[in-house]
Structure 1
Amino acid sequence: MRTVLELPAHYDFAGTLAPLCLGRADPAARLSHTELWWAVRTPDGPATLHLRRNGDTAEATGYGAGAGWVIEAADAIAGLHDDVRGFATLADRHPVVRRAWHDRPGLRMTRTGRLFTHLLPTVLAQKVSGKEAFRSYAKIVRHFGEPAPGPLDGLLLPPDPARIAASPYWVFHPLGVEQKRADTLRRVAAVADRLEAAPDPATATARLTCLPGVGDWTAAEAVRPAYGDPDAVTVGDYNIPHHVGYALTGAARAGSRESAPGRISEADARMLELLEPFAGQRARVVQLLMAATPAPPRFGPRMPLRSFARF
C-alpha cells in the first residue's frame, strides 16, 4: 500500500523523525536524511512503514497486516499534522529561540499514536546512561522481537507487550535490566491496551503517572512523540535543564540536580521558569534548542558504563 505525502517548505526529514529511531543500530528502525524504515505493532497487526523523500514529497509504503493503519497515519507520524502557525511570533519572545526557529524551521513533532513503542526505550533509560539504555533496548528487541514485514533484511518488530508482561524478572537480568526497571516495564506492558486507548496526552500522562515506577520524566518522554504534544516538556532529565539554561542565559549550569519526592530540582525549576513565556509550546522550544544551539560545557567525567548481566 502506498501514498504520497506533500511536505511543507524546509521540512527537516531526519530531525523530525529522529524520535522514531534510536541510532544507527536500532533493530526496529533505520533512518537517513531521505529514508525511514519503522517497524511497529498497530491495532491491525504488525507493520512496517517506509518513507522515502523525493524533494517536496515523500512516498509512504506500508507492509504487513497493519499496512493500511500505517499508511493512514503516515502524515501524522511524519509530523505533518503538527500545527506551527503562530509559533514564529511566540519565538520572537527570546532572540535565541527566534534564531533557532530561523535556522531549523522544518522541525516538526511526530504523532505516532503508539504509546508503548516509546515507553519501552524510555523505561529502560531511567537512571542509566544513554548507552546502557540502548544496549538493553537492542537486546530486548532481539530477544522478544520477530522479523518485521517488508523487504528490509534484519529489521525487527518491537516486542509484543503481552510477552513482556508475562516474562519473569530473570529473563531481563541477562539483558542488562535490573529488577526495578524490569518490574516497571512489565507493569506498563500489562496495561498497554488501556494506555494506548487514552484519547489525549493529558489522559495518557495521568494514566501513566498512576503506575508505580513511572514519573513525570518517563511520561513526558513517551507522550510527546506518541501524541505530538508541543508542551510535554521533560522534567527530571540529567542534561536538558542545563542545555536550556545555557542557551537562554549563557549560564553553564541551571542549578543543582538534587530533587526529592514531591519537589523538583533547582535546575528543573530554573528551566521551567525560562520556558514559561512559551507555555503551550515549551517542548517545541526545547526541541529547537537541543537541535540548534551548542551544548553546555562539561566539567566532569561521563557516567561509567555498567553491566551486571553476567552476575
Structure 2
Amino acid sequence: MTTTHQDSIAVWDAGAPYSLTQTLGIIGRGPGDRTVRLTPENAWLAFNTPAGPATLGISQRGTELHARAWGPGADHALESAPALLGAHDDWSAFDSPTVTETLPARVREARRRHPALRLPATGRMVDALVPAILEQKVTALEALRGYAVLLRKFGLPAPGAGTNAAVPTDLMVAPTPAQWAQIPSWEWHRAGVGPQRSATVQRMLRSSSGLERLSALPAAEAGAKLQSIPGIGAWTAAEVTQRTHSDADQVAVGDYHLAAYVGWALAGKPVDDAGMLELLEPWRGHRQRVVRLLQLSGLRKPTFGPRMTIQDHRGH
C-alpha cells in the first residue's frame, strides 16, 4: 500500500480489491445523513478537523483511491484519508488457513465473494458518538430521523458545496462539539430526541476535548474509557469504535436485532447476547469481521415476532 501527495490531492493504492461502498457504508447514518454521499466509484465526506471544516472527495480507479480536499481542514483530511479508507485494517490473520478452516461455510463464501471489504477508522469520536447515542433504545427509523433533522437545522454547508461543481450541493458538516452543546432542549424535543438521550449527549460533550484523544488508543481501551461516561454502555462503545478504530472485534451487545440474526446465521435459531458471544467466541479478535461478512452474505432472518414501537417524545 502506498500513498502519494500532490498539492491538495492524495493517492492511496490499496494493492488489492477494494469497495468504497462496503468500506465506508457504515459511516453514514441513513439516507438523511448529509455528511456522507457514496456511489460505487465516488465518495464525499464532510467533517470537522482541528484546523476547521473539510470536504473530502474520493474517486476509485482500479485499486487506487484518489482523494481531493477543500476547506480549512483540507490538509488534515488528506492525512487521515488512508486510515479512513481502511489502510490499517489487516485481514491477513483472518485470511490464514488457521482461521479460514474454522469458519462456517456461509462466512467463507461471503469472504470469497467480498474480498474488497475494509474496516474504516475515522478517528472522529464525537461524530460517531452523537448518532450512536441517539440510537439508544429506540428504533433505527426514529433515531435516523432525529439525527437528520438536527443536522439540517444546525449543520453547516460543506466547504465547496454550492460553489464548487465537484462537491454535492447539499453536503453538510455536522455541528462541532461546541455547537452541539448550544442546541436548546426544545430543539432536541422537536427532533424527537427524548431527554435521557439528549442529556447523555450533553454529558459526553463535557468530555469532548479528552474524547478525541481516545482515537490514538487501541480500540478495546478506547471502548472501555467511553463506558466510564454515564449513559454510554457496551453497545454504544462498540458502535463508535467500529467506525473510529477499524475495530475488528467488538460486537454491539444489546442490539435489538443482532443477537437473533447471528443466532439464525450460525445456529439456525435466535439467541440472546450471551448466546451470540458464545457462538462468536472461536473467532475472538475477528468477531466484527464475522458479523460484517454475515451481513454481506445476503442472509435474512425470519421476520415473525414482536416489533419495537416508535416512541414519539415530541408530544410530551
Counterpart of 2:159 in structure 1 is 149
1 CA distance for matches of 2:69 and 2:94?
32
The yes-or-no answer on 1:11 pairing with 2:18 is yes
1 CA distance for matches of 2:252 and 2:191?
27
- Matched letter for residue 188 of structure 1: M
Counterpart of 1:181 in structure 2 is 197
Quick check: 2:122–2:243 contact (8 Å CA) kept in 1?
A: yes
Displacement of 1:158 in angstroms is: 0.6
Identity of aligned residues (%): 40
Displacement of 1:165 in angstroms is: 2.2
Structure-1-length-normalised TM-score: 0.91
Quick check: 1:8–1:106 contact (8 Å CA) kept in 2?
A: no
Quick check: 1:46–1:149 contact (8 Å CA) kept in 2?
A: yes
Q: Name the SS of the counterpart of 2:129 in structure 1.
A: helix
Number of aligned residues: 298
Change (3 A) 1:8 1:242: farther
Q: Name the SS of the counterpart of 1:61 in structure 2.
A: strand
2 CA distance for matches of 1:62 and 1:132?
33
- Matched letter for residue 61 of structure 1: R
Displacement of 1:169 in angstroms is: 2.4
String of CA shifts for 1:142-184, please: whole Å, max 9, x gaps: 1221111123211111111112224442231111111000000
| Equivalent of 2:305 in 290, 300, 306 | 300
Counterpart of 2:284 in structure 1 is 279
1 CA distance for matches of 2:266 and 2:15?
28
Q: Name the SS of the counterpart of 1:19 in structure 2.
A: coil
Structure 2 counterparts to residues 13-28 of structure 1, below 5 A = 13-28=20-35
Quick check: 1:10–1:106 contact (8 Å CA) kept in 2?
A: yes
Counterpart of 1:162 in structure 2 is 178
Q: Name the SS of the counterpart of 1:24 in structure 2.
A: coil
Q: Name the SS of the counterpart of 1:309 in structure 2.
A: helix
Counterpart of 2:121 in structure 1 is 111
Displacement of 1:250 in angstroms is: 1.7
Displacement of 1:56 in angstroms is: 2.1
2 CA distance for matches of 1:169 and 1:92?
53
String of CA shifts for 1:262-307, please: whole Å, max 9, x gaps: xxxxx11111111111011111111111121412101135433342
Counterpart of 2:106 in structure 1 is 96
User: Relative to structure 2, which stretch is displaced further, 53-62 or 299-308?
Assistant: 299-308
2 CA distance for matches of 1:47 and 1:246?
42
Quick check: 1:166–1:186 contact (8 Å CA) kept in 2?
A: no
Counterpart of 2:275 in structure 1 is 270
User: Relative to structure 2, which stretch is displaced further, 142-151 or 108-117?
Assistant: 142-151
Q: Name the SS of the counterpart of 2:180 in structure 1.
A: helix
Counterpart of 2:5 in structure 1 is none
2 CA distance for matches of 1:9 and 1:244?
28
Counterpart of 1:139 in structure 2 is 149
Structure 2 counterparts to residues 112-127 of structure 1, below 5 A = 112-127=122-137
Q: Name the SS of the counterpart of 1:9 in structure 2.
A: coil
1 CA distance for matches of 2:17 and 2:260?
29
Displacement of 1:310 in angstroms is: 4.7
Q: CA RMSD in A?
A: 1.5
- Matched letter for residue 272 of structure 1: L
Counterpart of 2:244 in structure 1 is 226
Counterpart of 1:76 in structure 2 is 83
String of CA shifts for 1:35-80, please: whole Å, max 9, x gaps: 1111111122111111111222121011111111111111110112
